[in-house]
């Protein structure tokens, strides 16, 4: 189960809509398992079919989080033509860069909000409950 405040959900969806038709990406940082802030990352690929964290930005963000003894709780990205389900590429990358939660936003429909959360452990995808809290 992943619990996130409504403000973070809104920020992720807005980010995905803004970058559409390209994919967007970012992280939620936490402390002691609780989400504390969302960091929108630049998609270095600027592509409708993939994303890659900008390497300079990722270095700054990683160092800041590591130095503060915070943790990366969620990686999020959008799919712009397909459903909000981890792709084969996502699963491949999850093996070398694990995150506790993978959140996907689909922007294929301009009207419907599609947002789902997963765990991906050793290549096995499991959808989990996404609980939205006020705030």
Number of residues that bind another protein (CB under 8 A): 33
Burial profile 45-75: b = 16 or more Cβ within 10 angstroms, e = fewer:
eeeeebbbbbeeeeeebeeebeeeeebbbbb
Q: Binding another protein by CB under 8 A: which of 14, 21, 46, 89?
A: 89
**Are 118 and 126 spatial neighbours (Cβ–Cβ below 8 Å)?**
yes
Is 23 a binding residue for another protein by CB under 8 A? The answer is yes
DSSP 43: B
Give the Cα separation of 58 and 33 in Å (integer). 21
User: Least distance (Å) from another protein to the CB of residue 110?
Assistant: 18
User: Least distance (Å) from another protein to the CB of residue 133?
Assistant: 26
Give the Cα separation of 59 and 50 in Å (integer). 20
Touching another protein, residues 24-83 (CB under 8 A): 25, 41, 45, 47-53, 55-56, 58-59, 62-63, 66, 75, 77, 79-82
* Residues within the interface to another protein (CB under 8 A): 23, 25, 41, 45, 47-53, 55-56, 58-59, 62-63, 66, 75, 77, 79-82, 86-87, 89-90, 93-94, 96-98
């Amino acid at each position: 189960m992943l619990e996130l405040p409504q403000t973070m959900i809104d920020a992720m969806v807005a980010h995905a809509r803004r970058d559409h038709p390209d994919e967007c990406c970012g992280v939620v940082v936490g402390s002691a398992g609780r989400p504390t802030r969302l960091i929108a990352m630049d998609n270095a690929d600027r592509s409708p079919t993939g994303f890659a964290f900008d390497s300079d930005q990722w270095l700054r963000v990683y160092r800041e989080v590591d130095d503060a003894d915070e943790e990366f709780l969620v990686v999020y990205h959008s799919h712009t033509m397909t459903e909000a389900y981890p792709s084969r590429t996502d699963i491949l990358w999850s093996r070398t860069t694990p995150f506790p939660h993978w959140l996907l936003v689909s922007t294929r429909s301009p009207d419907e909000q599609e947002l789902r959360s997963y765990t991906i452990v050793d290549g096995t995808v499991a959808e989990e409950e996404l609980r939205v809290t006020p705030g």
